[in-house]
Every structure is written in structure tokens, then in C-alpha cells.
Amino acid sequence: MASKRILKELKDLQKDPPTSCSAGPVAEDMFHWQATIMGPPDSPYAGGVFLVTIHFPPDYPFKPPKSCGPPRIPFCGTSANRFQKIQTVAFRTKVFHPNINSNGSICLDILKEQWSPALTISKVLLSICSLLTDPNPDDPLVPEIAHMYKTDRSKYETTARSWTQKNRVAFEVCSHKFMKCIWMILFKGSGGDSVVHSEQKLQVRQEALSLDLGHISKLQIMVSMLIGSYRCYRANHAGLTKGCLG
């Protein structure tokens, strides 16, 4: 039941993704997803890229993915022990927010008593986006931030923007490294460049895959890479290879 429901939600997300959000399974594990949320433009989180991990319980959708923080129980990887993990919906990106603590746990009613089997991960992601825009300081996970939100809104917004900016810079650096790795794998050795040996390509590939970019970012990079590949292929044959890679 859970597997079929999760697969249906994945297909629905791919067909009609929610605004500024994307999600999908990590590797081949349908019960472990990673989502990416773009910071809402009308919030201190505008311009940010936030990674969220999602673990589904075995009785989903009758029970929600729980917002109790990142999994800490050892997991041996066999199907029989799959659900030794703590099922979670949690931020992996640090967020300065009264309803999101340092472990990434989220205080959101639909992940607790307001959960309904009619809800979906798409709706959960949209609710998290709404929480970024409109925090609930009366039900905080971080009382100190909630107090700042109530008593000094300007300081709260300045701090939240600062955190968002730092995370965005780190994300962009990581994304650039990923693109350079992909470029070396595909194009190094063409257009008169020296040939890259298979061992070096494998090493670069492993480095690229180790970079933590999130679901939507890797998808967007791969699409951009394929488009760029075609353009650079044409430019290469026209003697215009310079400038293909920024």
C-alpha cells in the first residue's frame, strides 16, 4: 500500500510540481526522498535553496512522515530492517526560524495531529513554504528566535537573510564544482585538448556524485548540461569552443 501510494505521488510531482519545490527518491529507495525548496520571494529566505529530507513510515499515508529530526538509529540497509530508521521530514540546510530547530526538525501541525491520508508530500512542501513566509511564534521549536520575531522583527529578518545568504554562497560553490566535474567527464579531451584517462574520469565522476546538491539542483544541472553540451558541440566544430563553460 505504502509503495504504491509513494510511487503515485512521485508521478504526480513529476507531472505537476508545486511552485518552487521539487522532490524525489534518493538512489533507489522509494521510502527516502530529498526535496529542494526555493526560498519564498516575499520572505527573508528569498534566494535561498533549502534541502529537506523525507522518510516515509511503512504505514504511509495513514501515518505522516514525522518531523522529529534527522535519523540517528543505525541502519544496516536490508529490506527487513528498512524501518529501523526514524521517519522524518527535516531540513538539512540550516535555517534561522522559530519553527525549525538546529537539527532541522519542523514544527508543523499537518505533520502531527492535523495529518490526514488525503494529504500528500506536495501539500507538505507547500505548507513548509508557507511556514517560511509566515512563522508561527506561538508554537515555537526555538523560543529565543520566536521572542526575537515578536519583539524585534527587523533583527530577526536581518539574521534570517544573513543565514540564507551564507547557505546560498556555499550551495553555489558546490554547484560550480559539480558542473566543472561534469564538464571534465564529458568534454575534456575534445577539441584538441589532452585526453583524460579513464581512471581520472572515474575519480572526477565520484567527486561530482559526492557533492550534496539536492534533487532539483542536480536535475536542473543535468538538463542545463545536456543543452550546453549540444551548443558546445556545434561551437566546437565551428571553432568557437572558447566560452562554452563559464
Reduce the DSSP state of residue 123 to 3 states and report it.
helix
**What is the CB neighbour count within 10 angstroms for residue 81?**
12
Phi, psi dihedrals of residue 62, rounded to the nearest 5°? -75, -20
| pLDDT value of residue 184 | 61
CA distance between the termini of the chain:
47
| pLDDT value of residue 192 | 43
Instruction: Show which residues are catalytic.
Output: 107
- Taking only the tens of pLDDT, the chain with its 246 residues reads 899 999 999 999 989 888 889 899 987 789 999 899 999 998 999 989 898 999 999 999 999 986 444 443 333 333 334 333 444 799 989 999 999 999 999 999 999 889 999 999 999 999 999 999 999 999 999 999 999 999 999 999 999 999 998 877 655 555 556 566 656 655 555 444 444 455 555 555 555 545 554 444 444 444 444 444 444 444 555 544 444 443
List the CATH code of the domain at 2-153.
3.10.110.10
Phi, psi dihedrals of residue 31, rounded to the nearest 5°? -90, 0
Interhelix angle 2-15/121-133, rounded to 10 degrees, is: 60
Domain positions in the chain are: 2-153, 175-188+195-246
State the maximum Cα–Cα separation within the chain, in Å, rounded to a whole number.
Answer: 64
| pLDDT value of residue 170 | 57
| pLDDT value of residue 19 | 85
pTM summary value: 0.66
State how far the Cα of 218 lies from the Cα of 209, in Å rounded to an integer: 10
Q: Compute the Cα dihedral for 170, 24, 62, 124 and give only its sign.
A: positive
| pLDDT value of residue 200 | 56
| pLDDT value of residue 199 | 55
Grid coordinates of 147:
521572542
